[in-house]
């Protein structure tokens, strides 16, 4: 049985960061689970390297597009090797094999009557590689909020409008085609509104795969990039994919464009698309512009890859947005890995070495069938957090069992049956560890290999299958190895300081890949956003203080913590953003803020801000604004939003 899964094909406008790592670790985990279920599982990832944005990035870095993409693609490939991610196929969209597959897909769609030639004049977002229908010159992109550019060119169009009913039938007949349910509902609503034909070629750029037609057409990014999933395994009899694992921001391209392209060409469709949520940094969306990108390698250098894998998959319900925090990372490590799994393994094997000369005692009846079944079910639902919770429940039970049985006392006891009881306790503990190790292997592969070896197992843990796990058991008389530390406790402040120091070094190294240089004296901190990096003000720049007020005046101002739920430009007003802000009331508030020139909409979503909550409502551009967002600024300088370094709930009052 084959199981073929893919990550997104990562765009090379950025070097690898923890968002890329999150998806790829999840895919690697799923692959390991599927192999435990008896599948021949294969994982594809790769890099998306074409488009106008890459042309411009290469030019800014003083390189050709070929040189630029070679460097960044190598970064991704090396990252996955360094993190011990089990990738089978790494496909670049610049490979000749891929170009051939894209041209084949186009030819089949053309011959089947689903592509026609036309012309396009309208707005185009370079950042998202997206044509924006019904937009006017200067209008922002609806996805990222950046200004669109007006383009006029001859294009080839894919007849996406012909697939509305076919796609709706697909979603209806296959309710698990798009998961989770929230993403499925989003796609259904979008398709039901009607679909427009899609431009799939460009003539104004050169960096792309040429169409097999006359003229200077190159493929538009999505027709090119999506085909990577198929081109990567061309000739290996693995298509269709069983799973496309993606981030929620690209679900429409995968769940609408991709199946329509395949239907038009007469190719089989993927079985499932799963769109997970964003990984936020302490509740704020990570972005280059905010300066809060986190990279995986500094964390791995300090804490190890399994610590990062465990945190990412345990802390968040996969599918929903999750939040990365250094404090939470170290806390999980010390409580769950050092004090939990690591301590349990060390205690158990130390007692076997000490009380039974390192040999597994005679067998006793131990059953973990229900635990194995529940963990496998959670893994199959991609509910990694609950699978790990189930495993740690077994760890907790065994800890309590050892404390209750007190084997250290049994070892000294001369009472009748005491040594038989000690054998039963030690065998039970060792058998629990065998099963726990196999169950945790998909998430903690390096740690599982170490524990498996210490147990004296002769076959690799990677060869373990769920179906055999409950049927097999430890052999009596098996020799265990000396104990080695798995997760030494970490001092939080020192570890976090070291990770941030390495993050600074990695940020500078990656910036150099893009032809940028960050001076060594310039601080790089994850609590400092790019918008706030303005030159220091001289005393003459600082405005004079307002007249004094009394405490009675101040307490009339009700300042609240607000969480920005959505943000979008106000049409016809280049300085205004329309925000929806949660301040702990039953309904979110509408606030119009004059910060559009300093902040893009996507920078604000998920951000905590300060709101003047009791300001009288007023209408701006026809929108009633109920409150005011607090920002600092100097004369002629951009506004900088007030915020929080520590976690605080929406609605909390500032005093």
C-alpha–C-alpha distance, residues 39 and 43, integer Å: 12
Residues 514 and 555 in one domain: no
Helix (H, G, I), strand (E, B) or coil at 540: helix
Helix (H, G, I), strand (E, B) or coil at 574: strand
CB 611 within 8 A of CB 591: yes
Query: Angle CA(390)–CA(394)–CA(397) in degrees, nearest 5?
Result: 135
Running DSSP on this structure, what letter comes out for residue 594?
Answer: S
Q: What is the pLDDT of residue 477?
A: 96
CA within 13 Å, CB half, 71: 20
Question: Is 50 exceeded by the pLDDT of residue 316?
Answer: yes
Residue ending a domain, among 276, 302, 333, is 276
pTM for the full model?
A: 0.78
- CATH number, domain containing residue 15: 3.40.50.620
- CATH number, domain containing residue 648: 2.40.50.140
Q: Which domain holds residue 441?
A: 289-533
Mean pLDDT of 497-515: 91
Give the tens place of pLDDT for each residue, 172-182.
999 999 999 99
Give the tens place of pLDDT for each residue, 549-608.
787 778 789 999 999 888 888 887 778 899 999 898 878 899 999 888 888 887 788 889
Residues 204 and 62 in one domain: yes
DSSP string, 15-55: ---HHHHHHHHHHHHHHHHHHHTT-EEEEEEEEE--SHHHH
Token reading at 633: 């600024």
Q: Which of 110-124, 333-347, 423-437, 593-607 has the lowest mean pLDDT?
A: 593-607
Number of domains in the chain: 3
Query: Angle CA(58)–CA(61)–CA(62) in degrees, nearest 5?
Result: 90
For residue 546, being part of any structural domain is answered with no
How much of the chain exceeds pLDDT 70, in percent? 92
Q: Which of 271-285, 329-343, 409-423 has the lowest mean pLDDT?
A: 271-285
CB 211 within 8 A of CB 176: no
Q: What is the pLDDT of residue 532?
A: 28
Compute the mean pLDDT over every residue in the chain, rounded to the nearest whole number. 90
Residue ending a domain, among 533, 559, 586, is 533
Query: 198-199 and 149-158: which strand pairing?
Result: antiparallel
- CATH number, domain containing residue 350: 1.10.730.10
**Which whole-number Å values give the CA distances from 564 to 177, 610, 613, in the listed order?**
31, 10, 14
Give the distance from CA 488 to its chain's centroid. 27
Return the bridge partners of 620, or none: 623
Question: Is 90 exceeded by the pLDDT of residue 342?
Answer: yes
pLDDT level of residue 535 (50, 70, 90 thresholds): very low
Q: What is the pLDDT of residue 154?
A: 87
DSSP string, 161-186: GGGHHHHHHHHHH-TTSEESHHHHHH
Residues 391 and 490 in one domain: yes
Q: What is the pLDDT of residue 363?
A: 94
For residue 543, being part of any structural domain is answered with no
Question: Is 50 exceeded by the pLDDT of residue 245?
Answer: yes
The H-or-E segment that residue 157 falls in is: strand 149-158
For residue 367, being part of any structural domain is answered with yes
Q: How much is the CA Rg of the chain, to the nearest whole Å? A: 28
Alpha helices in 576-645 (DSSP H): 601-604
Residues near 221 by beta carbon (within 8 Å), at least 6 away in sequence:
48, 50, 51, 129, 208
Q: What is the pLDDT of residue 620?
A: 80
Question: Is 70 exceeded by the pLDDT of residue 371?
Answer: yes
For residue 283, being part of any structural domain is answered with no
Token reading at 189: 């609503």
For residue 540, being part of any structural domain is answered with no
Q: What is the pLDDT of residue 486?
A: 95
Give the tens place of pLDDT for each residue, 455-486.
999 999 999 999 999 999 999 999 999 999 99
């Amino acid at each position: 049985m084959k199981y073929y899964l893919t990550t997104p094909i990562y765009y090379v406008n950025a070097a690898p960061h923890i968002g890329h790592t999150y998806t790829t670790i999840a895919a690697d985990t799923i692959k390991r689970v599927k192999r435990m279920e008896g599948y021949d599982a294969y994982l594809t990832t790769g890099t998306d390297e074409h488009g106008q944005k890459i042309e411009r990035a290469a030019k800014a870095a003083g390189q050709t597009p070929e040189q630029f993409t070679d460097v960044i693609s190598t970064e991704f490939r090396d990252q996955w090797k360094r993190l011990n991610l089990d990738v089978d196929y790494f496909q670049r969209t610049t490979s000749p094999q891929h170009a051939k597959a894209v041209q084949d897909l186009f030819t089949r769609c053309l011959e089947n009557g689903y592509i026609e030639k036309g012309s396009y004049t309208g707005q185009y977002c370079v950042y998202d590689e997206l044509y924006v229908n019904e937009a006017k010159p200067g209008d922002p992109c609806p996805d990222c909020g950046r200004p669109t550019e007006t383009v006029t060119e001859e294009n080839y169009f894919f007849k996406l409008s012909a697939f509305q009913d076919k796609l709706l039938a697909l979603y209806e007949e296959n309710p698990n085609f798009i998961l989770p349910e929230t993403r499925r509902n989003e796609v259904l609503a979008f398709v039901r509104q009607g679909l427009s034909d899609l431009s799939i070629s460009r003539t104004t750029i050169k960096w792309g795969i040429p169409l097999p037609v006359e003229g200077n057409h190159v493929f538009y990014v999505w027709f090119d990039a999506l085909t990577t999933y198929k081109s990567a395994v061309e000739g290996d009899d693995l298509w269709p994919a069983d799973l496309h694992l993606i981030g929620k921001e690209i679900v429409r391209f995968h769940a609408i464009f991709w199946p329509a392209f395949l239907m038009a060409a007469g190719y089989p469709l993927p079985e499932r698309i799963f769109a997970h949520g964003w990984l936020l940094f302490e509740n704020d969306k990570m972005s280059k512009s905010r300066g809060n990108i986190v990279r995986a390698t500094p964390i791995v250098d300090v804490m190890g890859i399994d610590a990062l894998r465990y945190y990412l998959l345990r802390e968040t319900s996969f599918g929903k947005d999750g939040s990365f925090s250094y404090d939470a990372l170290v806390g999980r490590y010390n409580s769950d890995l050092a004090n939990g799994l690591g301590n349990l393994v060390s205690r158990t094997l130390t007692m076997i070495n000490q009380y039974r000369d390192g040999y597994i005692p005679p067998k006793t009846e131990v059953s973990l069938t229900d635990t194995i079944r529940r963990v496998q079910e959670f893994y199959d639902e991609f509910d990694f957090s609950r699978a790990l919770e189930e495993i740690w429940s077994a760890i907790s039970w065994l800890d309590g069992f050892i404390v209750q049985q007190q084997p250290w006392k049994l070892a000294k006891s001369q009472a009748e049956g005491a040594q038989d009881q000690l054998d039963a306790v030690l065998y039970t503990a060792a058998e629990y560890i065998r099963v726990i190790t196999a169950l945790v292997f998909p998430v903690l592969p390096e740690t599982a290999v170490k524990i498996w070896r210490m147990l004296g197992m002769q076959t690799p843990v990677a060869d373990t299958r769920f179906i055999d796990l409950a049927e097999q058991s430890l052999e009596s008389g098996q020799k265990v190895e000396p104990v080695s530390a798995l997760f030494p406790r970490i001092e939080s402040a020192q570890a976090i300081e070291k990770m941030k120091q390495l993050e600074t070094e990695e940020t500078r190294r990656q910036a150099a890949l893009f032809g940028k240089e960050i001076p060594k004296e310039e601080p790089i901190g994850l609590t400092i956003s790019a918008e706030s990096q303005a030159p220091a003000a001289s005393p003459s720049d600082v405005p004079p203080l307002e007249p004094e007020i009394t405490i009675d005046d101040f307490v009339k101002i009700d300042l609240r913590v607000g969480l920005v739920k959505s943000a979008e430009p106000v049409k016809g007003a280049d300085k205004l953003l329309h925000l929806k802000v949660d301040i702990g009331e039953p309904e979110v508030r509408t606030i119009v803020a004059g910060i559009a020139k300093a902040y893009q909409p996507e920078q604000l979503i998920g951000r905590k801000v300060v709101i003047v909550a009791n300001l009288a409502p007023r209408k701006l551009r026809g929108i009633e604004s109920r409150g005011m967002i607090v920002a600092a600024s100097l004369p002629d300088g951009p506004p900088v939003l007030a915020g929080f370094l520590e976690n605080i709930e929406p609605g909390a009052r500032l005093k």
